[in-house]
Chains A and B, each alone.
Chain A
Amino acid sequence: MHELSIAESVVAAVCERAGDRRVHSVRMRIGAFTAVVPDAMQFCFGLAVEGTVADGARLDIEHRPGAVHCRACGADTDLADMLLLCPCGSADVAVTAGRELQIVSMEVG
């Protein structure tokens, strides 16, 4: 359950920036290749905010699909899973999207 550690990191980061202000919502970007499950993230975020200035805050998650660039044929392809293969059959690919794990913004006031 690494989502709990991640939720604690997110809450610590936003609370530090919020100071005394109340955090109403937090927006995260989570890529398909990060091993972070959005439902588990929501659950753990709800636990991690308890007793902080973000208590009760809503978590909005932007899901980013994975994508690769093929060095053999030059094609860019969206991938539904982590089998890093270009449709041309080449495994010589660079991951161009799907590894995002970011705090995008927060709403305070």
Chain B
Amino acid sequence: MRATRRPSAPHDHPHAHSPATETISLEEKVLARNDAIAAEVRSRLAHRGIVAVNLMSSPGSGKTTLLERTIRDLDGDRPVAVIEGDQETPLDAERIRRTGCAVVQVNTGAGCHLDAAMMRAAVNKLDPSPGTLLFVENVGNLICPALFDLGERAKVVIISVTEGADKPLKYPHMFAVADLVLVNKVDLLPYVDFDLDACRRHVSAVNAGARVLALSATRGDDVDAWYDWLTAPAIR
């Protein structure tokens, strides 16, 4: 306490006057619990040869449409299952179920992202068979899901050409964690002002290691490169 302090000065640090207080050093990661659960999930999945791919994007980028096509096109190659994250409604799970694929819907309510505990509960409920390719469709949001490790093998960020090529610069945290960036709806390129090369440069600026693939989930343009990526040794 400074000697010049007047006795009437407001007590903005009331705790300092109590002799019983003690400062405890913690030095722990805030997300230590989440990360521990994610590590447990990752180990369990690896043990059973299950590969989890976390799909993240803003709402409306085409995650569910991409999954519907991917499930149909990969039909029979290996078991596929989906964990659907949304704030409300089972609508996306119903779309996936119509493809014949095993699916679990997780509704986060007010929550803006999936976390590792939700992932663990969903995996327990789904109980995927060994060798399954497990897609996790995260809550549509380009910010919050970036922070939460789910125990996945890879993170895929999807951006559609109707959103603007500058999204990687506007939402750098999300693009910084991506292993792969998919630019969807390229069938709409003739009708929108979207510079694909600029988008690739912007992804590189925040994440030099990310691959970028452009495709159309509705029309099927260039989806083979996506399937090749999914079956590459690094993912298997």
Q: Which residues of A are at the interface with B, using a C-beta cutoff of 8 A? A: 1-2, 5-6, 9-10, 12-14, 17, 24-25, 28, 33-36, 81-85, 91-93, 101-109
| Also in contact, A6 and B15, with CB within 8 A (given A35-B173, A81-B172, A105-B24) | no
In the complex, the answer to whether A104 meets B26 with C-beta atoms within 8 Å is yes
- Asked if A2 meets B144 with Cβ closer than 8 Å, knowing A9-B33, A9-B34, A102-B28, the reply is yes
Q: How far is the CA of A6 from the CA of B34 in the complex (A)?
A: 10
Contact call A105/B205, Cβ cutoff below 8 A: no
Contact: A82 with B206, CB < 8 Å?
A: yes
Partner of B31, one of A9, A81, A109: A9
Are B176 and A82 closer than 8 Å at their CB atoms? yes
- Residues of B contacting A34 in the complex (Cβ-Cβ under 8 angstroms): 147, 173
Stretch at the interface among B48-56, B60-68, B111-119: B111-119
Q: Is the CB of A102 within 8 A of B22?
A: no
Main secondary structure of the interface of A (DSSP, over half): mixed
Q: A9-B34, A84-B205 are in contact. Are A24 and B147 (CB under 8 A)?
A: no
- Whether B21 and A106, one on each chain, are in contact in the complex, defined by CB atoms closer than 8 angstroms, is no
Binding site for A on B (CB under 8 A): 15, 18, 20-34, 111-113, 115, 143-144, 146-148, 169, 172-173, 176, 204-208
Contacts of A17 in B (CB 8 A): 24, 26
Check if A102 sits within 8 Å of B115, measured CB to CB: no
